[in-house]
């Protein structure tokens, strides 16, 4: 029987820990926070009763049947479709940009083929052959008017730089739909946990061989007490930032409450640079099966992440990737630790991908235990 430590009680630590506990091992899970669930943490607001997504809204969506069955084994998921609206130029539109948005924005009544012709032949800037930047990519695919209304300002606020400084890869495909489908995600399985994500993670961690210690900060010198550590904290943090800090964007949430219904939907984006926040989320709309007289909303502001802030989105531009490469080299030389999850591998990971990777990591690790071989620093390569 091995003695294993999970640093972090988010989805990565919980899923790996549960798998190893079920395989007969002794598991300790530590988290510096006062709750489990990591960034997916949800809690009921005591005044309104609204289930609040404390670190920003989380919508579960996946095509991975095993992962869908996994989450449903620990919590009931109720149907939820993410339908986002955008306020820009004094009007409210439907996102992602779809036929409704195009017709409303240009004052037309186009059918799908007509809309495609209109965008491709009259809007798109076809003089751009090989788009290099986000801006060129958007101009190439949707043209200046839609780009400026829906992509430019939002992107500048979210990333803190001009879209001409961002790579084209951020906007890969044609970001427009020529039908009235306003479901944000394409995935087969989509839903919201009836009692929130934290309830689900608590159940995943509820096993006699798992010892959960909250408000417990891990430092590297504690690793020796365990046969192996799964570290879902920041990769550079493990090395005390000795090579410098990997760049992140952080978010500030300005919380406010009101009576009734503030905006009539869960997510309202604000595309204009003059509005300092990127969006307002109204949390009761993430649980449409509940009724609450009051409401809890977040205005969301994005900015560069300083030491002490919560790292949200890894920047992963050229400079960050070079530094990441150096940290990966250091990590590969480290003994007795595997780096997992969104922070341990410095990637943006949706919840379903996090769970998929955690399951694969746990299985891969048990294979190494059985074979007596050294587990890798990364079960999934960060680069």
Ligand X SMILES: Cc1cc2nc3c(=O)[nH]c(=O)nc-3n(C[C@H](O)[C@H](O)[C@H](O)COP(=O)(O)OP(=O)(O)OC[C@H]3O[C@@H](n4cnc5c(N)ncnc54)[C@H](O)[C@@H]3O)c2cc1C
Residues forming contacts to ligand X in the complex (CB under 6 A) are 7-13, 30-33, 38-40, 56-60, 217-218, 232-233, 251, 312, 341-343, 349-352, 354
Residues whose CB is less than 8 angstroms from the CB of residue 321 and which lie 6 or more positions away in sequence, other chains included: 383
Q: How far is CA 73 from CA 65, 175, 194, in A?
A: 12, 35, 13
Residue from 64, 194, 211, 350 carrying the catalytic annotation? 350
Angstrom distance (rounded) from CA 82 to CA 227: 42
- Residue (258 or 310) nearer to ligand X, CB: 310
Residue from 300, 327, 342, 347 carrying the catalytic annotation? 300
Judge whether 177 counts as a catalytic residue: yes
Residues whose CB is less than 8 angstroms from the CB of residue 278 and which lie 6 or more positions away in sequence, other chains included: 154, 157, 158, 269, 270, 300, 301, 302
- Residue (134 or 238) nearer to ligand X, CB: 238
Judge whether 154 counts as a catalytic residue: no
Judge whether 249 counts as a catalytic residue: yes
DSSP notation for 245-268: PPPEEEEEEEEEEEES-SSSSSEE
Judge whether 348 counts as a catalytic residue: yes
Nearest of 64, 35, 356 to residue 196 by alpha carbon: 35
In degrees, to the nearest 5, what angle opens at C-alpha 107 toward C-alphas 104 and 110? Answer: 80
CB of 354 to ligand X, least distance (A): 4
- Residue (55 or 106) nearer to ligand X, CB: 55
- Residue (106 or 312) nearer to ligand X, CB: 312
CB of 272 to ligand X, least distance (A): 21
CB of 38 to ligand X, least distance (A): 2
Q: Is the bond into 349 cis (omega within 30 degrees of 0)?
A: no
Angstrom distance (rounded) from CA 265 to CA 42: 19
Residue from 113, 173, 240, 306 carrying the catalytic annotation? 173
Total Cβ atoms within 10 A of residue 256:
12
CB of 35 to ligand X, least distance (A): 8
CB of 174 to ligand X, least distance (A): 23
Residue from 18, 33, 140, 279 carrying the catalytic annotation? 279
Judge whether 357 counts as a catalytic residue: no
CB of 356 to ligand X, least distance (A): 11
- Residue (30 or 176) nearer to ligand X, CB: 30
Residue nearest to ligand X (CB): 38
Residue from 177, 316, 347, 356 carrying the catalytic annotation? 177
Residue from 22, 47, 348, 363 carrying the catalytic annotation? 348
- Residue (84 or 115) nearer to ligand X, CB: 84
* Rg, Å, the chain Cα set: 22
End-to-end CA distance of the chain: 33
Residues catalogued as catalytic: 173, 177, 249, 279, 300, 348, 350
């Amino acid at each position: 029987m091995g003695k294993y430590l999970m640093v972090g009680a988010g989805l990565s630590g919980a899923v790996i820990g549960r798998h190893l506990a079920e395989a007969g091992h002794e598991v300790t899970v530590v988290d510096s926070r006062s709750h489990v669930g990591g960034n997916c943490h949800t809690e009921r607001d005591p005044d309104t009763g609204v289930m609040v997504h404390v670190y920003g809204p989380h919508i579960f969506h996946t095509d991975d049947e095993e992962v869908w069955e996994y989450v449903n084994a620990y919590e009931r998921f109720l149907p939820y479709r993410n339908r986002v609206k955008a306020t820009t130029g004094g009007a409210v539109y439907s996102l992602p940009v779809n036929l409704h948005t195009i017709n409303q924005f240009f004052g037309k009544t186009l059918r799908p083929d007509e809309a495609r012709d209109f965008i491709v032949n009259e809007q798109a800037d076809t003089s751009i052959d090989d788009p290099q930047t986000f801006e060129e990519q958007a101009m190439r695919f949707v043209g200046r008017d839609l780009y400026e209304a829906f992509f430019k300002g939002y992107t500048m606020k979210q990333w803190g730089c001009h879209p001409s400084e961002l790579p084209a890869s951020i906007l890969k495909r044609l970001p427009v739909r020529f039908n009235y489908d306003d479901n944000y995600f394409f995935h087969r399985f989509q839903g919201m946990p009836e009692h929130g994500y934290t309830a689900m993670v608590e159940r995943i961690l509820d096993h006699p061989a798992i010892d959960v210690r909250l408000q417990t900060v891990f430092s590297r010198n504690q690793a020796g007490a365990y046969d192996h550590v799964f570290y879902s904290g920041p990769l550079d943090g493990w090395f005390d930032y000795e090579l410098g800090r990997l760049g992140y964007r952080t978010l500030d949430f300005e919380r406010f409450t009101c009576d009734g219904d503030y905006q009539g939907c869960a997510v309202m984006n604000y595309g204009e640079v003059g509005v300092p926040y990127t969006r307002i989320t109204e949390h009761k709309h993430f649980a449409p099966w509940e009724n609450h007289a009051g409401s809890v909303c977040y205005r969301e502001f994005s900015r560069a992440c300083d030491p002490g802030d919560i790292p949200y989105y890894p920047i992963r531009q050229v400079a960050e990737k070079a530094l990441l490469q150096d940290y990966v080299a250091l990590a590969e030389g480290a003994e007795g630790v595997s780096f997992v999850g969104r922070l341990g591998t410095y990637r943006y990971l949706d919840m379903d991908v996090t769970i998929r990777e955690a399951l694969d990591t746990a299985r891969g690790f048990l294979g190494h235990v059985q074979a007596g071989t050294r587990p890798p620093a990364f079960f999934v390569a960060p680069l």
